[in-house]
Amino acid sequence: MTTSNYATERETTEGKVFTVTGGDWDQVVSGTDPISDERIVVNMGPQHPSTHGVLRLILELEGETVREARSVVGYLHTGIEKNLEYRNWVQGSTFVTRMDYLSPIFNETAYALAVEKLLGITDDITERANTIRVLMMELNRISSHLVWLATTGMELGAINMMLYGFREREYILEIFEIITGLRMNHAYVRPGGVAQDVPDDAIVKIRKFLDLMPKKLKEYENLLSGQPIWLERTQHVAVLDVTGCLALGVTGPVLRSAGLAWDLRKTMPYCGYESYEFDVPTHTDGDVWGRYLVRLAEIRESLKLVEQALDRLKPGPVMVADKKIAWPAQLAIGVDGMGNSLEHVAKIMGQSMESLIHHFKLVTEGFRVPPGQVYVAVESPRGELGVHAVSDGGTRPYRVHYREPSFVNLQALPAMAEGGLIADVIAGGASLDPVMGGCDR
């Protein structure tokens, strides 16, 4: 008596049905099922809860294995770069701050550094202004990494991390509100310096934050680092080695998690970073776990930088002395929260007519920038954020283009996802930390 190697089958109105009682599924169906190797194409996004913002992924699946992945961007396009051509140089700060909305201070600083380089006033920026820029950028880096930790935790099942990450980020946003009048989209860093000085109550709150945050980091590590599910979802997942990073132009924590200590604050310093003591954290595995460890370590390094910036925050002006460039930086925050205190307006009105006319022209028409083009880059929470600014000698930019790390890093997603499981696409995509407002500027 012979027995069939195949599962019994029967025809139904829904098609052929197999009754499987044992054996390997691939062996059971490959001989008789005509669609056993058929692949399906699924859309992940642009409204899928597992994707950051409005990113669309087209995945070709074989079972749960990703055979091909394609990223589709553009769903959050704002035209910010084009809009800059229709505003004066200072007004550009209000636009660029809205690009990568999780790290607005970096957008503003990169833009201001580019304009200052065109003007030839880089060395004229006051020590206090540079120190405030470093202080604000490092606080912003911490808040951005906290959002990454919170959202990635949520996507991989650690719901508590979502609550804790946003709780601590809220503290930083309150500091930003005290200093700039706004929680996000500040337009605080401007060509020539910063919009206004840091008040004393903000310094007190930052000192309290420096005491609080190290304890919270230990809590995060106790929650995640030894957790078996977290380890399974992150270790050896979405691997991208240093060769792949360099070939694709990937920078930031993703590159450093592959072992290369490339950080523009060290390799091409700006705003006086060369005078600060800090380390560049790296890892060697190039996986989601390595990116997690690098970002936690970067938060600790940023706390060290914030403390150093506070210690060297000496009294002095926060805007260049040249009144033909200097946007009024003596503003106190008024009742509108935007820096239009009646006392300062009255002071301006009480000066000479020439001074009032000059103030009016500076605010409405803006200053002229000599013809030329520059490229300036800063180390944002996501990698190299570069600004290519072109001037034709007028009061408005001829062209401003950003080298945005979210846009560049996203092209690594297929290399990380293909051949892996569909669930690991979530972990890998999250580990890149893309912000689509920056990607689709």
Q: What is the pLDDT of residues 33-45, one digit of tens each?
A: 555 567 788 888 7
CA distances from 124 to 257, 273, 393, 440 (A): 36, 16, 21, 34
DSSP category for residue 337: S
What would the pLDDT profile of 361-380 be if each residue is shown by its tens digit?
777 888 899 999 999 999 99
Q: What is the pLDDT of residue 158?
A: 87
Quick count: other Cβ atoms within 10 Å of Cβ 340? 14
**Which CATH fold topology does 80-325+367-439 show?**
Cytochrome-c3 Hydrogenase; chain B (1.10.645)
* Integer Cα distance of 134 and 56 in angstroms: 35
Reading the block at residue 267, the tokens are 């390799």
Element housing 109 (H / E): helix 104-119
Reading the block at residue 212, the tokens are 């609080």
Percentages of the chain per state (helix, strand, coil), in multiples of 5: 45, 15, 40
- Answer for the pair 233, 155: CB distance below 8 angstroms, yes or no: no
Query: Nearest to residue 190, comparing CAs of 333, 331, 320, 340?
Result: 320
Quick count: other Cβ atoms within 10 Å of Cβ 94? 16
- Average pLDDT over the chain, rounded to an integer: 86
Reading the block at residue 392, the tokens are 């034709």
Reading the block at residue 173, the tokens are 């946003």
Specify the 3-state DSSP secondary structure of 194.
strand
Give backbone dihedrals phi and psi of 377, rounded to 5 degrees, phi first. -130, 145
- pLDDT-based confidence at residue 17 (cuts at 50, 70, 90): confident
Sort 338 into a burial class: Cβ within 10 Å, 0-12 / 13-18 / 19+.
Answer: middle
Residues in Cβ contact with 336 at an 8 Å cutoff, skipping those fewer than 6 apart: none
Average of per-residue pLDDT across 314-320: 88
One-letter amino acid for residue 189 of the chain = V
Give backbone dihedrals phi and psi of 376, rounded to 5 degrees, phi first. -130, 135
Angle at 403 between CA 388 and CA 55, to 5 degrees: 145
Query: Nearest to residue 206, comparing CAs of 115, 123, 120, 308?
Result: 308
Quick count: other Cβ atoms within 10 Å of Cβ 207? 13
Question: What is the model's pTM?
Answer: 0.86
- Answer for the pair 84, 93: CB distance below 8 angstroms, yes or no: no
- pLDDT-based confidence at residue 181 (cuts at 50, 70, 90): confident
Residues in Cβ contact with 308 at an 8 Å cutoff, skipping those fewer than 6 apart: 276, 277
What would the pLDDT profile of 399-418 be if each residue is shown by its tens digit?
999 999 999 999 999 999 88
Query: Nearest to residue 96, comparing CAs of 115, 110, 113?
Result: 110
As a whole number of Å, the CA-based R_g of the chain is 26
Q: What is the pLDDT of residue 338?
A: 56
- Domain residue extents for the chain: 8-72, 80-325+367-439
Q: What is the pLDDT of residue 361?
A: 78
Quick count: other Cβ atoms within 10 Å of Cβ 315? 6
Q: What is the pLDDT of residue 336?
A: 58
What would the pLDDT profile of 77-123 be if each residue is shown by its tens digit?
889 999 999 999 988 999 999 998 999 999 999 999 999 999 999 99
One-letter amino acid for residue 22 of the chain = G
CA atoms within 13 A on the CB side of 435: 22
Quick count: other Cβ atoms within 10 Å of Cβ 276? 19
Q: What is the pLDDT of residue 323?
A: 78
Residue with tokens 């396009």: 77
- pLDDT-based confidence at residue 249 (cuts at 50, 70, 90): very high
Query: Dihedral through CA 336, CA 134, CA 374, CA 89, nearest 10?
Result: 10
* Integer Cα distance of 127 and 134 in angstroms: 11
